[in-house]
Amino acid sequence: MSKSGNNSSQRLSPERISEAEHAVMEALWDKGTATASDVCETVCEARGWSLATVKTLLSRLVQKGAIETRPDGRRFIYSPLIARSDYVGGESRRLVDRLFGGRAASLVAHLAETEALTDDDLSEIEALLKELKS
């Protein structure tokens, strides 16, 4: 685990983070910094994972440049190198590109047509569009 994210300027491709790794990232984003045991307290019971599983996922995330690690006595402290908002933005763009030809309007139209949007959702979208136009 000696790779500590020295390439923090390197952009992480969001598609490189698996669903399991994303659960670990969520725990780190919520905590800011954490040990493997801290992360396990957050995710292990709900997912049926062991501490060894969490350590494996943390190691993968370090190798991918998504998090960094530093020694703290006999344990390691992990911190995210990418912001949740950057990851969500990249994933959103990738979804729109892959499924809707890069057109966000097509995504919204699809959600509206399949009744996945409530009246409250539509009102929020309308308010957001008005705000963006002004």
Residue 25 included in any domain: yes
4, exposed or middle or buried, with CB in 10 Å at 0-12, 13-18, 19+? Answer: middle
Q: Looking at the structure, tell me whether residues 120 and 70 fall in a common domain.
A: no
Tell me, yes or no, whether 91 lies in a domain: no
Tallying the residues shown for the chain, one arrives at 134
Question: What CATH number does the domain containing 45 carry?
Answer: 1.10.10.10
Give the model's pLDDT for residue 121.
87
Range of the structural domain that residue 61 is part of: 14-84
Per the structure, the count of domains in the chain is 2
In a domain, 7, yes or no: no
Q: What distance lies between CA 80 and its chain's CA centroid?
A: 10
Residue 90 lies in a domain: no
Query: Does 22 share its domain with 77?
Result: yes
- Does 71 share its domain with 112? no
* pLDDT beneath 70: ranges in the chain: 1-15
Is this prediction's pTM over 0.95?
Answer: no
79 with 120, same domain: the answer is no
Render the burial of 40-59: b for 16+ CB within 10 Å, e for the rest: bebbbeeeebeeebbbbbbb
φ/ψ region of 60 (left if φ > 0, alpha if ψ in -120 to 50, else beta) reads alpha
Distance separating alpha carbons of residues 27 and 35, to the nearest angstrom = 11
pLDDT at residue 114, as a whole number: 87
If asked whether residues 80 and 107 sit together in one domain, one would say: no
SS3 category, 3: coil
What pLDDT does 76 receive?
A: 97
pLDDT digits (tens, 9 = 90+) for 43-69: 999 999 999 999 999 999 999 999 999
